[in-house]
Structure formats: structure tokens, C-alpha cells
């Protein structure tokens, strides 16, 4: 799990971190039950503040992607991952609609757009069953 954050991005750090962690779960680099670094460790290794990491963890916990175990610290959800909720569908709809419209206006064909979607989904799960590093 090498995580890099873009300090210049318009996206807040805690959201970038959330994205990287979900991508890690999708790719299999982070497997159900795997321990995550402590808030302090991760903050230090990323060069950001402890509270920022804590916010990411807390939000991921609220959504069911992580669990906070009394003794084991923070771990990847070992039971069922959250499914496709209405909230996620709404978010997916909103963001895809906006991206699709701009792609169309810019002259990207449906096939080019759809292929990109397919490619990135494939990339996301590429390492599934892999080594975890």
C-alpha cells in the first residue's frame, strides 16, 4: 500500500485518502480483516495531520468499509462490504451524468467513453487475488 496524496489538489486530503483506501480494497491490496496503520502512523508516513487521517477512517467506518476493533485497531471490514445503496446509486448517477455529458460535448464517442469506463473498472480489480502489496 503505497499511498500518495496530492497536496495541490482541489480535492480535500481526507477524500483523496478515502479514495486510495477504497481502491486498495477493490484491487485486493487490502483484504477483508487486514489491519490498517494506526492513525498516527499513517499520518506521519503521509506527512499529514493525525486528524485528517482520523476523519477518513471515521467516514469509512460510518459507511461500513472499515471496522474499529477494540484491540486490533482499525481493520478492513471482514464481513460483508456495504452493497449498492440508494445513496451510492445517486452519487454514481450524478457524477457519471456530468462526465458523460462533457465527454459527449468534447466529441468523445459512446464507445470511447464506455471503453474507458470498462478499462478503469478492470484496472480497479486487476490485482484481486494477488499478493496484497
List the one residue out of 14, 63, 76, 74 whose CA is nearest residue 38: 74
Cβ at position 129, least distance to DNA in Å: 27
> Is 27 or 38 the residue whose CB approaches DNA more closely?
38
Q: Are 23 and 121 in contact (CB under 8 A)?
A: no
Q: Which three three-digit cell numbers place residue 7?
A: 497536496
100 binds, among DNA, a second copy, none (CB under 5 to 8 A by kind): a second copy
Interface with a second copy (CB under 8 A), residue from 4, 62, 86, 133: 62
62 binds, among DNA, a second copy, none (CB under 5 to 8 A by kind): a second copy
Q: State which of positions 28-57 bind a second copy (CB under 8 A).
A: none
- Closest CA relative to residue 35, chosen from 82, 2, 80, 71: 71
Amino acid at each position: 500500500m503505497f499511498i500518495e496524496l496530492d497536496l495541490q489538489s482541489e480535492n480535500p486530503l481526507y477524500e483523496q485518502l478515502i479514495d486510495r483506501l477504497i481502491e486498495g480494497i477493490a484491487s485486493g491490496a487490502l483484504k477483508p480483516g487486514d489491519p490498517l496503520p494506526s492513525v498516527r502512523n499513517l499520518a506521519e508516513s503521509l506527512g499529514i495531520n493525525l486528524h485528517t487521517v482520523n476523519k477518513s477512517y471515521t467516514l469509512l467506518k460510518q459507511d461500513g468499509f472499515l471496522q474499529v476493533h477494540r484491540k486490533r485497531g482499525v481493520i478492513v471490514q471482514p464481513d460483508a462490504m456495504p452493497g449498492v445503496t440508494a445513496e451510492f446509486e445517486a452519487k454514481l448517477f450524478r457524477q457519471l451524468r456530468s462526465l458523460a455529458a462533457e465527454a459527449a460535448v468534447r466529441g468523445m464517442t459512446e464507445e470511447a467513453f464506455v471503453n474507458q469506463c470498462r478499462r478503469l473498472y478492470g484496472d480497479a480489480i486487476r490485482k484481486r487475488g494477488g499478493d496484497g502489496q
